[in-house]
C-alpha cells in the first residue's frame, strides 16, 4: 500500500513501540505510594519532562489527556467555564472558521448548553486568520470574550497560522489564547513559552507514538474547569489513572520527531513538490489549496491538498484505494451524507470544489516510490471519476 494519509495517523516509530512494550510488562499505578507505584510515577514524570522539553514548556505546564480531542475540549470548555465563573459577562467564544471539529463542536456545544456566544473568525483564501481580524472581533466587546482558539496549522490544507501574532492580540486584551497544535508539533518549530499562547494541544499518534495519549499545555495561572472529575490527577485538571505504557511511547516519539524535525521537513517538502508535479502532469487542472509557499511560516511539510474539478472526492478516494493508495477526502461524511469541507467553504470555495478535493499527507515513512505510484494512478482515476460524475448529472 502507498500510505499517503499521515495527517490522519502516522505509523508508530520502532523506538516508541519498544518503550511502550517494556512498560506493558510492568505493574504499578502511578498514584500508588508503594514501590511499584513509585516506579510507574517515575515513567510518568520522565514523559512529562520529555514532552515539555520538546515543545518549549515547563514540566508543570503539561497535563496529560487521552489525545487531541480531549485536550481541545478541556481547553475550550474549561477556559470558558473558568472565565464565566470569575466574570459572568464573558460569554463570547472566538474560534477560527477553519478549525478542527474538536474545537468547533466544543464551542458550539457551549452555545447550545452553556449560554456561550460563538463567533467564527473568517479566514482568507489561503485559510489564514489575520491578527487584524481577531483584534477587530475582540474590540467589539473586549470585556465579553472568554477564550480564543485558533489552530497552529490546518489539518486539511496545511496552512500555518500566525500564532505568535494572534496570541499577542489576545494577551493584550487579557483573553486566554488556545491553539490546537496537533498537526504542528514535530513538523514545525513549536515553542510554547515563546508563542505567547495560554494553552496548547498535542497528541502522540501524529508523531509516531501510540493512539490514546496526548497533552494540554497550560501556562501558569491558567486553570480550566475540569471536564472529568475523579481522583484529582494532573493537578486536578484531568482526573484518571495515567497510562504509563502509552506515556513511555509518547515520550520516545516526541523526542525523535523533534530531534529529526528539520531534516524530515526538508525531505518531505521535496517529496511534496514531486507529488504535486506528478499529479499536475497527469491532471493539469488540479488546484492546490492552502498557502502555496513552502516554509515553516506558510505550509506544513508533507501536506498536498488538491481539488479536482468535475470529481466527487469520495469516489476518487475509493478509486485510488482500490489501487492500494490511501489518502483522505477533503469532505466529512455524516450519517451517510457527503458534506462539503467546512475548511474550503470558509476559504470561499464553491460546494462542488469543496466536495471534489483530496488530501495527500506524507510522513516519516513516505518514499519516492509511493509518490510515483500516485502519479501513475491519478490520471486514470480522475478520468473515471469525472465520467461517473457526469453520468449522474
The residues carrying an active-site annotation are 333
Cα→Cα distances 313→9, 226, 335, Å: 20, 39, 17
| C-alpha dihedral, 42 to 46 to 47 to 49, nearest 10° | 140
Q: Burial level of 117, CB count in 10 A (0-12/13-18/19+)? A: middle
**Euclidean distance between the first and the last CA atom of the chain, given in angstroms as a whole number:** 33
Q: Lay out the sheet containing 214-218: strands in order across.
A: 62-65, 214-218, 199-203, 177-180, 145-149, 92-96, 117-121
Return the sign of the alpha-carbon dihedral for residues 122, 98, 188, 198. Answer: positive
Q: Which residues contact 301 (CB under 8 A, 6 or more apart)?
A: 187, 264, 265, 266, 268, 269, 272, 294, 362
Amino acid at each position: 500500500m502507498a500510505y499517503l494519509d499521515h495527517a490522519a495517523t502516522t505509523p508508530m516509530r520502532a523506538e516508541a513501540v519498544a518503550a511502550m512494550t517494556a512498560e506493558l510488562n510492568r505493574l504499578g499505578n502511578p498514584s500508588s505510594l508503594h514501590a511499584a507505584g513509585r516506579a510507574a510515577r517515575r515513567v510518568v514524570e520522565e514523559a512529562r519532562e520529555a514532552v515539555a522539553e520538546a515543545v518549549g514548556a515547563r514540566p508543570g505546564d503539561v497535563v496529560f489527556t487521552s489525545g487531541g480531542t480531549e485536550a481541545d475540549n478541556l481547553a475550550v470548555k474549561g477556559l470558558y467555564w473558568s472565565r464565566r465563573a470569575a466574570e459572568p459577562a464573558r460569554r463570547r467564544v472566538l474560534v477560527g472558521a477553519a478549525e478542527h471539529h474538536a474545537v468547533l463542536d466544543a464551542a458550539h456545544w457551549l452555545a447550545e448548553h452553556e449560554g456561550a456566544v460563538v463567533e467564527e473568525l473568517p479566514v482568507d483564501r489561503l485559510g489564514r486568520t489575520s491578527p487584524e481580524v481577531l483584534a477587530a472581533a475582540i474590540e467589539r466587546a473586549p470585556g465579553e470574550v472568554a477564550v480564543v482558539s485558533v489552530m497552529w496549522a490546518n489539518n486539511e490544507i496545511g496552512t500555518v497560522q500566525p500564532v505568535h501574532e494572534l496570541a499577542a492580540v489576545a494577551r493584550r486584551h487579557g483573553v486566554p489564547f488556545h491553539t490546537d497544535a496537533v498537526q504542528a508539533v514535530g513538523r514545525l518549530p513549536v515553542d510554547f513559552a515563546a508563542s505567547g499562547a495560554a494553552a496548547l494541544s498535542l497528541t502522540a499518534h501524529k508523531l509516531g507514538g501510540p493512539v490514546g495519549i496526548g497533552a494540554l499545555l497550560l501556562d501558569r495561572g491558567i486553570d480550566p474547569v475540569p471536564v472529568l472529575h475523579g481522583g484529582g490527577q494532573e493537578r486536578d485538571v484531568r482526573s484518571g489513572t495515567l497510562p504509563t505504557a502509552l506515556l513511555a511511547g509518547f515520550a520516545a516519539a516526541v523526542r525523535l520527531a523533534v530531534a529529526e524535525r528539520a531534516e524530515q521537513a526538508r525531505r518531505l517538502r521535496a517529496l511534496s513538490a514531486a507529488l504535486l508535479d506528478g499529479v499536475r502532469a497527469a491532471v493539469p487542472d488540479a488546484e492546490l489549496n492552502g498557502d502555496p509557499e513552502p516554509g515553516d511560516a506558510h505550509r506544513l511539510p508533507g501536506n498536498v491538498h488538491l481539488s479536482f474539478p468535475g470529481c466527487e472526492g469520495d469516489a476518487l478516494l475509493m478509486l485510488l484505494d482500490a489501487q492500494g493508495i490511501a489518502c483522505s477526502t477533503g469532505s466529512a461524511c455524516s450519517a451517510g451524507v457527503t458534506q462539503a469541507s467546512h475548511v474550503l467553504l470558509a476559504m470561499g470555495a464553491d460546494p462542488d470544489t469543496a466536495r471534489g478535493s483530496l488530501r495527500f499527507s506524507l510522513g516519516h515513512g513516505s518514499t519516492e516510490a509511493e509518490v510515483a505510484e500516485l502519479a501513475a494512478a491519478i490520471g486514470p482515476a480522475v478520468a473515471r471519476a469525472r465520467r461517473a460524475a457526469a453520468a449522474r448529472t
